[in-house]
Chains A and B, each alone.
Chain A
Amino acid sequence: MSTRRTFLKLTAAAGLAPAVASAQGAAAGKVVVIGGGYGGAMAARMLKALEAKLDVTLVEPNPVYTSCPFSNSVLANLREIGQQEFRYDGIRRAGVSVAQTSATAIDATARTVTLADGNRLSYDRLVLSPGIDFNWGAVQGYDEAAAQKMPHAWKAGAQTVLLRQQLQAMADGGLVVMSVSANPYRCPPGPYERASLIAYWLKIWKPKSKLLLLDAKDAFSKQRLFQNAWAQLYPGLIEWVPLSKGGKVTSVDPATLTLVTEFGSHKAAVANVIPPQRAGAIAAQAGVADRTGWCPVEPVAFESTLRPGIHVLGDAAIMGAIPKSAFAANAQAKVCAAAIVDLLAGRKPQDPILINTCYSLVAADYGISVAGVYRPDKGQLAEVPGAGGTSPLDVVGGFRGQEAVYAESWFRTVTAETFG
């Protein structure tokens, strides 16, 4: 119980940090934010909220943002894709200029961003929150064309709808095969939530079907909670094949929906390939991505260690122990905004405390969670020992149902705060 108390105390402290910065704010300047997801949209809005004199531009080509969190529920028919969609009107109302175009080039020395519409923006500070791109070809045969046959559905939207249509069109008894990348990738527990919710849906609508989960790892987030729930709710339905049992998929054949591992091959009725990933393409163009494809940053203002003046948030960044989640991106955005206000006013940003919570649904009314608390330590964000933790393994009464409700409350809160 003392862990829970520590966690709450730190939550309160983290909540206060931006308010303190706001009271002292006297900064002016130009900030450009690239990428309108949970990191970028929140950062743009928070910058303006903390310091109204800032000139803040959000660069985002899509008029509508489609949320990955809760998109697995769309696959299981528990939500419609429209419930995942958010517009930028609230962000405009908050005083942020929204440039509905993409950034094509960044000059870190001249501090300018070139846009696809031909305009050029200058900045004092640049925030990059470009999310992920896929390493096409890392799984042999898996390219953009293959993703039309074997959807990744790891960027929500048309791909989510495609995978759902394929599941619905599948004959009862068909084999669903999922392939999961090695670390790091967007949303560590996401593939296992997806397997759970597809199983939930199969059990109702295609009870003769099975799900094969081919994994390039031997361990995963909330593993015991997931596996206990699978045994309880979906006995015999989900088969997890870890790396050490030959689970790593090395190539695919989209024409025959075949997934090939080091030791065998599997023909799917529906195949979902979650491929290896890297930071969104603009990060490499800007010179902030390293050889891993991800962006190293310092742990206080999340400024690139490769290019000064550029801050990187969310899934694109390597943030020490903090996972690639929407919750984390959103928390990083708030910390980064406060730090930028400080830096522009000539103040030293204070060390942050960040929190991450990931809820996963295992069934419509069965939620589990993992929480962590992070602070800078030796140039990295390190997990604070004893804070956070996962849902208990043994629970009574409506505990799992309550966590499913919390999950939905979190989603409503974070999307209202960011886009509302």
Chain B
Amino acid sequence: MANVLVNAPKTARRGQAVEIKALILHPMETGFRPGADGRILPRNIIELFTATWNGVEVFRIELSPAIAVNPFVSFFAVATESGTIGLRWSGDEGFLVEEQVAIAVE
């Protein structure tokens, strides 16, 4: 259901800072807005985004209701070893999406 775009380099030199970009489709409903029937729409946001490099957490953000629809995240991580970058979004209503990309470090 969730739609994710990820842009990370396929290769990197050891010690190089590489940029990783990720976009996820999500309504980020604030919990403060009335719906068509006048009742407040329940909050439905992503609360946490984390990135791991071969299982080691390298990046984390906590998202708030003020963050807009379809959050886009861009961050840098230092290339340590070949393996897998894991991206994880979790939030309200049991929302959980995981995505993995491979990277070769020379």
* Contact pattern, B 61-74, Cβ under 8 Å of A = 1, otherwise 0: 00000000110101
- List which B23-76 residues lie within 8 A (CB) of chain A: 23, 25, 69-70, 72, 74
Tell whether, in the assembled complex, residue B23 and residue A246 are in contact, meaning their CB atoms are under 8 Å apart: yes
B interface secondary structure, majority = strand
Complex Cα spacing A262 to B4, Å: 13
Tell whether, in the assembled complex, residue B21 and residue A263 are in contact, meaning their CB atoms are under 8 Å apart: yes
A interface secondary structure, majority = loop
Contacts of B11 in A (CB 8 A): none
Q: Is B7 an interface residue (CB 8 A)?
A: yes
Tell whether, in the assembled complex, residue B70 and residue A262 are in contact, meaning their CB atoms are under 8 Å apart: no
Q: Is B5 an interface residue (CB 8 A)?
A: yes
Contacts of B21 in A (CB 8 A): 262-263
Tell whether, in the assembled complex, residue A264 and residue B70 are in contact, meaning their CB atoms are under 8 Å apart: no
Contacts of A244 in B (CB 8 A): 3, 23, 25, 69-70
Contacts of B25 in A (CB 8 A): 244
* Contact pattern, A 249-264, Cβ under 8 Å of B = 1, otherwise 0: 0000000000000111
Name the residue on A nearest B25 (C-beta): A244
Number of A-B contacts (CB under 8 A): 23
- Which bucket holds chain A's interface residue count? under 10
- List which B10-30 residues lie within 8 A (CB) of chain A: 21, 23, 25
* Contact pattern, A 331-368, Cβ under 8 Å of B = 1, otherwise 0: 00000000000000000000000000000000000000
Q: Is A224 an interface residue (CB 8 A)?
A: no
Q: Is A218 an interface residue (CB 8 A)?
A: yes
Q: Is A243 an interface residue (CB 8 A)?
A: yes
Q: How far is the CB of A262 from chain B (nearest CB, A)?
A: 5
Tell whether, in the assembled complex, residue A243 and residue B70 are in contact, meaning their CB atoms are under 8 Å apart: yes
Complex Cα spacing A246 to B72, Å: 10
- List which A224-268 residues lie within 8 A (CB) of chain B: 243-246, 262-264
Q: How far is the CB of A2 from chain B (nearest CB, A)?
A: 22
Complex Cα spacing A244 to B2, Å: 12
Name the residue on B nearest A244 (C-beta): B70
Complex Cα spacing A218 to B26, Å: 13
Give A contacts to B, CB under 8 Å: 218, 243-246, 262-264
* 23 A-B contact pairs sorted by A residue (CB < 8 Å): A218-B69, A218-B70, A243-B70, A244-B3, A244-B23, A244-B25, A244-B69, A244-B70, A245-B5, A246-B5, A246-B23, A262-B5, A262-B7, A262-B21, A262-B23, A262-B72, A262-B74, A263-B5, A263-B6, A263-B7, A263-B21, A263-B23, A264-B7
Instruction: With A263-B23, A264-B7 given, name 15 new contacts (CB 8 A).
Output: A218-B70, A243-B70, A244-B3, A244-B23, A244-B25, A244-B69, A246-B23, A262-B5, A262-B7, A262-B23, A262-B72, A263-B5, A263-B6, A263-B7, A263-B21
